[in-house]
Chain A
Amino acid sequence: MEKLSIKEKKLEAINLNVFYGQKQVLKDVNIAIKANTVTAFIGPSGCGKSTFLRTFNRMNDYVEGFRKEGDIIVDGKDIYQKMIRVEELRKKIGMVFQKPNPFPKSIFENVAYGLKIQGIKNKKLIEETVEKSLKQSALWDEVKDDLKKSALSLSGGQQQRLCIARALALEPSILLMDEPASALDPISTSKIEDLIWELKQKYTIVIVTHNMQQAGRISDNTAFFYMGDLVEYDETKKIFTNPEKERTQNYITGRFG
């Protein structure tokens, strides 16, 4: 894999160890992720890939007993420094969760929420942003006539695209996705995948997935985790055709996991 210059690195983990209480869930992980790429984290359940994803926007701060050593660098800044405001950080880093989790409010309010909490009151700006975000997440045509309807009345796939729109409304530069399609049917899944492919133009995307074919289809680079170790990190093509480590080979060929 090509070496990245400091400027090219969008996200970076340096000697990262993560603990939940006594249990170590990530062991000395080093990774550098290039801007405007899709990176897939794969590995069996409990390998630490979701935990790793959540260190980039500090969502682990809410987990009891969470402790980390080492550094997480986003845009050249150590995000666990005291100076860093997590609220600011999370505006820059959107997150999409495993289960669609729209707010129990209207479609419009869901997308407008991020602007609202920033204190933006300009109605026109909010309306434009909502429309733009819903178009970006390929949901606009399906919901443009009933933006006032409850978000909970949408189908699962639509809800997930709404959650993506909600994250995009803040104009982040990074999108973290934690198994965004695992709760969806195949048609919704392929819509989400197409979407990820398009969003790559503007965003750096990191996606955790259980689905190996999905990782193969949508990602540029793939990182394979096993029991808290980053076993192998390389171009997706290489990982899926000619991995260096035997464990990676065994996992992607379905011998375990």
Chain B
Amino acid sequence: MTSAEKNRIKDKLFGYFGLACTLFGIIMLLVFLSDIVMKGWEKVDFDFLTNYSSSRPKKAGIYPALAGTLWILGLTALIAIPIGIAAGIYFEEYAKKSKMANFLEINLANLAGVPSIIYGLLGLQIFVRSLNFGASILAGACTLALLILPIIIVSTREALKAVPDSIRQASYGMGANTWQTIWHQVLPASAGGIITGIILAISRAIGETAPLIVIGAATYITYIPEGPMDKFTVLPMQVYDWIGMPDPEFAKNAAGGIIILLLITFLLNGIAVYLRNRWQKKVKW
């Protein structure tokens, strides 16, 4: 065998190996999904969405958890989006290269790698205790906002970086100041990337359970939260609670809860992909 033939075989083998690696993840996901759907699909109906939690599995629903998840999502987004975008803009457009900026940058990267349970402990100390928010929606949202902030900042920076400098130069050259340049040119041109990053960050927040357990979020709630200071539970915690129940009937409820949780996540990811494609078509350099 010549070496050219050997190389060709190696090339092919690696191709198959890569395919196998890709399929591994996807097949696992499919197995998991079909398992969940088979177990839980019978549970998913209108009653399941609108019933409160109950000690009888047949009657138990996810209404408070769903409402809690939406509350948490909304409030987390409200807190994290403006702060995250502003910080991203500062880093990319204002901060000059300095030791301070470097220091902040390294810490930002560290922050993104902190395990979520640590954020829970931080939230417990700062929001629940020191600021006296209690185990409320506000405390949960603040904690999750901290958690996804680095993701939003990093994706905002990437989106801003993708805007060519020639656009900024053109704007400055016409007498615009930095803020006008950002507001009229850079942000509109990078909005697709920024929004995509935000949606992905939020869909990460949906699934977070550990920090909310730590701050003391309830698992059994018999009412719908009406304000940010109310106690709450969220879907993953409801699922977690049901899985721990001795009655095997609850496992079906858990599967049903997972289906709803996944649907929300897939929906958000779908929107993110759609927006990214749309913006890519619109803005070409």
Residues of A within 8 A of B (CB): 57, 59, 62, 64, 86-91, 94-95, 97, 99, 101-105, 113-114, 116-118, 152, 163, 166-167, 170
Contact pick for B174, options A62, A104, A167, CB 8 Å: A167
Chain B residues with CB below 8 A from A88, complex form? 175
Bound Cα distance A113, B285 (Å): 19
Chain A residues with CB below 8 A from B175, complex form? 86-91, 114, 117-118, 170
Interface of B is mostly: helix
Bound Cα distance A187, B259 (Å): 62
Give the number of A-B contacts (CB < 8 Å). Answer: 68
Q: Which single residue of chain A is at the shortest CB-CB distance from B185?
A: A103
Bound Cα distance A99, B166 (Å): 8
Residues of B within 8 A of A (CB): 97, 164, 166-167, 169-177, 180, 184-185, 188-189, 282-285
Chain A residues with CB below 8 A from B170, complex form? 97, 101-103, 163, 166
Bound Cα distance A118, B176 (Å): 8
Chain B residues with CB below 8 A from A101, complex form? 164, 166-167, 169-170
B97 touches A64 (CB 8 A): yes
Chain A residues with CB below 8 A from B189, complex form? 104
A152 touches B173 (CB 8 A): no
Contact flag A166-B284 (CB < 8 Å), given A101-B166, A104-B189, A117-B180? no
Chain B residues with CB below 8 A from A167, complex form? 173-174
Bound Cα distance A91, B167 (Å): 17
Bound Cα distance A95, B173 (Å): 6
**Best-surrounded residue of B169, B189, B284 (most CB of chain A within 10 A):** B169
B284 touches A152 (CB 8 A): yes
Chain A residues with CB below 8 A from B283, complex form? 104
Between-chain CB contacts (< 8 Å), 26 pairs: A62-B169, A62-B172, A89-B175, A90-B172, A90-B173, A91-B175, A95-B173, A95-B174, A99-B166, A101-B167, A103-B171, A104-B282, A104-B285, A113-B174, A113-B176, A113-B184, A114-B174, A116-B184, A117-B184, A118-B175, A152-B284, A152-B285, A163-B170, A166-B170, A167-B173, A170-B175
Bound Cα distance A166, B173 (Å): 11
Bound Cα distance A97, B180 (Å): 20
Tell me the smallest distance from the CB of B255 to a CB of chain A, in Å: 47
Told that A87-B177, A102-B170 touch, could you supply 17 new A-B pairs with CB distance under 8 A? A87-B175, A87-B176, A88-B175, A91-B175, A95-B173, A101-B170, A103-B185, A104-B285, A105-B188, A113-B174, A114-B175, A117-B175, A117-B176, A117-B184, A166-B170, A166-B174, A170-B175
Tell me the smallest distance from the CB of A170 to a CB of chain B, in Å: 6
- The 3 tightest CB contacts between A and B, nearest first, are A101-B166, A95-B173, A90-B175
Bound Cα distance A90, B181 (Å): 14
Q: Which single residue of chain B is at the shortest CB-CB distance from A167?
A: B174
Chain B residues with CB below 8 A from A99, complex form? 166
Tell me the smallest distance from the CB of B106 to a CB of chain A, in Å: 20
A97 touches B166 (CB 8 A): yes
Tell me the smallest distance from the CB of A25 to a CB of chain B, in Å: 18
Bound Cα distance A15, B188 (Å): 42
Q: Which single residue of chain B is at the shortest CB-CB distance from A116?
A: B184
Q: Which single residue of chain A is at the shortest CB-CB distance from B180?
A: A117
Bound Cα distance A105, B189 (Å): 9
Q: Which single residue of chain A is at the shortest CB-CB distance from B282?
A: A104
Chain B residues with CB below 8 A from A152, complex form? 284-285
Chain B residues with CB below 8 A from A95, complex form? 173-174
B173 touches A57 (CB 8 A): yes
Q: Which single residue of chain A is at the shortest CB-CB distance from B189?
A: A104
B174 touches A97 (CB 8 A): no
Bound Cα distance A57, B172 (Å): 10
Tell me the smallest distance from the CB of B100 to a CB of chain A, in Å: 16
